[in-house]
Amino acid sequence: MLDASSDLSAPDFLLNPGLDRSAPYGDDLRAILSRDGGRTAHAAISAWEGYAPTPLRDLSAIADALDLGQVLYKDEGGRFGLRSFKALGGAYAVDRLVAAGGRRGLTVACATDGNHGRSVAWGARRAGVKAVIYVHETVSEGRAEAIRSYGATVVREGRNYDDSVRACAQAAAANGWQIVSDTSWPGYEDVPKDVMQGYSVLAIEIEAQTPTPTHVFVQGGVGGVAAAVLSDSWERHGAARPIFVVVEPENAACLFESAKAGAVTAVGGDLDTIMAGLACGEPSILAWRILQPGADAFMTVRDAAAADAMRQLATLGVVGGESGVAGLAGLIKAARDPALRSALRLDTTSRVLCYGTEGATDPEVYRAIVGRSAEEIGRGE
């Protein structure tokens, strides 16, 4: 068990002062996310055309370099052709809405940094309903065009993700659209629960692919995927669950700041980072209810660390996108720092799982960072 009262202090690392490892995964948390709900989501999603569990990569070269027992990387780059784990969440929530109320007159809407909007647009096309997707000014045109390719209307509004969330909410209220968001706020919780429950399929697949790891590193954003995989592990293993570390970009670390403050805390500014899918300034209140008492540590990484992790994966023939490698970048940083390594109890017996939540979702951005295309990496060139 980690000691959150440790005197380790760093501007980019925090042992969670709100952690209570002895606490059970109670009914209040099961009302947000549960293993029963995860099994329901898995049964539905596994019946979709094109479903297959994504691969778990054994990064032995990185484990050796970091003096760790094993480093595993859940590679979401091929998920339903959308190149991201987000395919599991937004599309599942759209399906649930259609099942509950029908298609007639339904328009779904969301704000996105790219991947969630692509999932909602894809889910809307699958279900035969309309989609309107809001993107902010720094979302690349490549990501916007990928959303349009599924028949959605794309609206560019707002300086950052959180601005787009507000603009989308206002337009939805005025037009009678149904918001399908991966974040939650007071009065809007039911649909985000479905989105996060879709993400829990990742943990169900992992359970069948490998014995329980000692550590999990996963990226933050608004906290949805982190809460989904933590909830499954917590409900399944209780206090014996893996050590769980949430990683965010240093310029968009709303979960880190929330942990430090002991309450949901928003961060402002442009949230400028190459990790576009994690450029979120406000946590999901639902995700935070799980992460605050359950995550062991929070940390931040610089853009350069994410770019380096992308290039390291490329040398191994694995395509990892900018946002998808944040957890791996955090692990590399922690394992190389004696104080962080000790605080997280990383050693030669550690079996570490990182969630590689996206592939090359913007091929041009990927090429600019790595120096080769995703297709060249995949062919081993």
Catalytic residue set: 86, 113
Q: What angle do CA 151, 89, 96 make, to 5 degrees?
A: 80
Encoded amino acid at 238, one letter? G
What is the 8-class DSSP label of residue 139? S
Helices (H) and strands (E) in the chain, counts: 17, 11
CA atoms within 13 A of residue 302's CA, in its CB half-sphere: 5
Where does 7-101 have alpha helices with state H? 27-30, 35-45, 60-66, 90-101
Gap between the Cα atoms of 216 and 255, Å rounded: 16
Q: What angle do CA 105, 107, 108 make, to 5 degrees?
A: 150
For helices 254-261 and 285-294, what crossing angle results, to 10°?
60
Q: Do 120 and 151 meet the contact criterion of CB atoms below 8 Å apart?
A: no
Task: For residue 254, give the nearest of 227, 276, 279 by alpha carbon.
Answer: 279
DSSP 300-351: EE-HHHHHHHHHHHHHTT----TTTTHHHHHHHHHHHSHHHHHHTT--TT-E
Gap between the Cα atoms of 115 and 32, Å rounded: 23
Please count the other Cβ atoms lying within 10 Å of the Cβ belonging to residue 50.
9
Gap between the Cα atoms of 199 and 340, Å rounded: 28
Q: Do 136 and 106 meet the contact criterion of CB atoms below 8 Å apart?
A: no
Cα four-point dihedral sign 62, 208, 29, 266 = positive
